Amino acid sequence: MSEYGLTVYNDNGGLMFDSSRKMNSYIITEIGTGTGPSATVASDDFLFVKIPSGQASSFANTVIFMGFTGLFYGRVGTFNNSGDSSFANATTVTLDYFVVKHSSKVSSTDDYGLTVYNEDNTIQFDSRSIKLGQHFLITEYHEPRSVDAWSTTNGGISLGSNSDYWEISNWTSGTLSSFEGDTSLVGLLFSGAPYAINYFSTAGSGFGFGGGNEGPFGGGGSTTTSSETWGDSITGMILSAELI
CA-wise closest residue to 165 among 27, 53, 11: 53
pLDDT of 25 reads: 76
Is beta strand 76-81 parallel, antiparallel or unpaired with respect to 136-142? unpaired
Is beta strand 183-190 parallel, antiparallel or unpaired with respect to 173-175? antiparallel
Structural domain range at position 191: 7-243
Is beta strand 165-167 parallel, antiparallel or unpaired with respect to 26-34? unpaired
In a domain, 1, yes or no: no
In a domain, 170, yes or no: yes
- Rounded CA separation 113/81 (Å): 42
- Give the model confidence (pLDDT) of 9-55 as tens digits: 777 777 766 766 666 678 888 999 999 998 888 888 999 999 999 99
- Give the model confidence (pLDDT) of 90-110 as tens digits: 788 899 999 998 877 776 666
In a domain, 165, yes or no: yes
In a domain, 2, yes or no: no
Query: CB of 201 within 8 A of CB of 188?
Result: no
- Rounded CA separation 128/183 (Å): 44
**Total domains, the chain:** 1
CA-wise closest residue to 149 among 238, 229, 240, 232: 232
Mean pLDDT of the chain: 77
